[in-house]
Amino acid sequence: MVRDLQEPPLSPGEFRERFLHYLRYIRGLELRDAGPADHLAAVELVVREAVIDGAVASRDAWAEAGAKVVHYLSMEFLLGRLLKNNLIATGLESSAREALEGLGLDLDLIIEEETDPGLGNGGLGRLAACFLDSLATLDYPAIGYGLRYDYGMFRQEIERGWQVERPDTWLAGGYAWEIPRPDLTVEIRIGGRVEWHQGAHGKYRPRWVEWRSFYAVPHDILIAGTGTDSTAILRLWSADAPKEFDFQIFSQGDYLRAVADREQVEAITKVLYPSDYVESGRRLRLIQEYFLVASSIQDTMNRFRAANGEAWDLLPDKVAFQLNDTHPALTVAELMRFLVDDVGLRWARAWELVRATCSYTNHTLLPEALETWPVRLFEEVLPRHVQIIYEINRRFMEGVSQRYPDDPERLGRLSILHEDGEKRFRMANLAIVGSHTVNGVAKLHTELLKKRVVRDFAELWPDRFVAITNGITPRRWLLACNPRLAEAVTRRLGDDWVRDLDRLAGLASLAEDPELQGEVLDVKLSNKV
């Protein structure tokens, strides 16, 4: 699926024609009447066509090959602006620049008009975004799963020398790169209680009853690979209240209750990381994490069933769940619930499939920063999952006690359940126990993780821990951010480095070249003035 980076899919003339077409038939304007926002919208629509063409080709290729797909679960995706990245990825930048110059427009000024979706606030989210870019560029089938926050990372303003935080209303004017997928909406359940029920052959079959439900509505953002038709999907979930529930309450005349109930549901995807200083904020955070996990697993299992029916032994060959930190650690419990309760697999077989499917990335070396949740809060929000986590832990503790029969302190440290004071579930422990691989984000990080933070787990399963160093995408952080330096590199090494960063090692033999040294200094100076 690799494309020649030097061959744009549209000529400048074709780009110009489509730009003017969208300006007239989507924005309803002639060039003389259009403003910066209109120029941006028309350019985005031209580029979006090329990205969608790649996405369709990718989807067809994945289906034909029966490929295994990476499902990357993260509470954050710090994407940055996508227009320039997509212009580079699709090979349209030069055509766009020439076409717009011919119309008296500056592509760089148009790019500056784009909104930055604030779906993350740090390295966790940027790593997730870089991974999707890399997976697409390397032709790996990949779907990222996250939440479509109404208000993401705050917008900073300075007033009288002080920082003021404003809401980041990134969706206010619409977002050109997302595609609503209401046809893939799934139902999410929380609350209620668990009933004892005797199933076939007298087996215990729990029933989760009296739950309340709402909906997860997906919106797809397409992540274009560079120099390839391969395209990753970032599927973001929005929370929506049941329409029929609203109607029943409205018909009874209780308008305020209907509005309040709808607002409670929509709050789930209102803001990134609600405050955990109050009980209501902690409850909302837990619901957010489960909402991400449950909707993503349902979506994945629907797709698996459509392709493979009930052949669950194929699950690890078709599906990989990568948990980006502990926020999606509930994947372990929810996948067990699905396989045991909904599919009807035996516990032991379901557990084998879960562990063969999940892997976990650790981001923190501070033990006190590892996420824990009060069991009482779980009992209120996810009563069935409390039972499942207890059973996972019971079986895990049985195995550990056989290996370390005279070391109760070690058992306490390894347990998913923290029992010193208020009972709490340790989400990092759950993620480690339920994953086949645990990685740190650098070699040193992984060594410290094994020696200091989860030493007991590293001694129990030394082969499970690996180091995968955080990388960055050279497409955004060199090719897009510093085009003159990228051009200097390309003239000497060719453009293969854009897809294979190891090619930059070829610069070592040119380190003493006075011409290259002078050009690099000129680029540095021009970037500063």
Q: Are residues 72 and 214 in the same domain?
A: yes
Q: Please report, in tens digits, the pLDDT of each residue of the chain (529 residues total).
A: 555 555 778 999 999 999 999 999 999 999 999 999 999 999 999 999 999 999 999 999 999 999 999 999 999 999 999 999 999 999 999 999 999 999 999 999 999 999 989 898 888 999 999 999 999 999 999 999 999 999 877 777 888 888 888 778 889 888 999 999 999 999 999 999 999 877 666 677 889 999 999 999 999 999 999 989 899 999 999 999 886 655 666 566 666 666 677 888 999 999 888 888 899 999 999 999 999 999 999 999 999 999 999 999 999 999 999 999 999 999 999 999 999 999 999 999 999 999 999 999 999 999 888 999 999 999 999 999 999 999 999 999 999 999 999 999 999 999 999 999 999 999 999 999 999 999 999 999 999 999 999 999 999 999 999 999 888 889 999 999 999 999 999 999 999 999 998 999 999 999 999 999 999 999 999 999 8
Residue 1 DSSP symbol: -
Is residue 406 domain-resident? no
Is residue 378 domain-resident? no
Residue 141 DSSP symbol: -
Q: Please tell me the predicted confidence (pLDDT) of residue 5.
A: 56
Q: Are residues 41 and 152 in the same domain?
A: no
Count of other CB atoms within 10 angstroms of residue 99? 25
Q: Are residues 110 and 127 in the same domain?
A: no
Q: Which residues are CB-contacts of 404 (< 8 A; sequence separation ≥ 6)?
A: 410, 411
Here the tokens at position 528 are 């500063």
Q: Are residues 150 and 209 in the same domain?
A: yes
Is residue 291 domain-resident? yes
Q: Are residues 234 and 320 in the same domain?
A: yes
Element (H, E) at 194: strand 193-195
Q: Which domain CATH number covers 330?
A: 3.40.50.2000
Q: Which residue matches tokens 């619901």?
A: 287
Is residue 34 domain-resident? yes
Is there a contact between 361 and 471 (Cβ–Cβ < 8 Å)?
Answer: no
Q: Please tell me the predicted confidence (pLDDT) of residue 80.
A: 92
Q: Are residues 145 and 174 in the same domain?
A: yes
Question: Containing domain of residue 9, as a range?
Answer: 1-65+91-114
Residue 428 DSSP symbol: H
Is residue 162 domain-resident? yes
Q: Are residues 100 and 176 in the same domain?
A: no
Q: Please tell me the predicted confidence (pLDDT) of residue 163.
A: 85
Rounded (10°) CA dihedral 257, 261, 266, 268: 140
- Write down the pTM of the prediction: 0.94
Q: Are residues 52 and 176 in the same domain?
A: no
Is there a contact between 235 and 218 (Cβ–Cβ < 8 Å)?
Answer: yes
Is residue 136 domain-resident? yes
Q: Please tell me the predicted confidence (pLDDT) of residue 263.
A: 86
Domain count, the chain: 3
Q: Are residues 337 and 259 in the same domain?
A: yes
Q: Are residues 109 and 123 in the same domain?
A: no
Is residue 411 domain-resident? no
Is residue 199 domain-resident? yes
Q: Please tell me the predicted confidence (pLDDT) of residue 306.
A: 96
Q: Please tell me the predicted confidence (pLDDT) of residue 196.
A: 85
Q: Are residues 487 and 453 in the same domain?
A: no
Q: Are residues 185 and 290 in the same domain?
A: yes
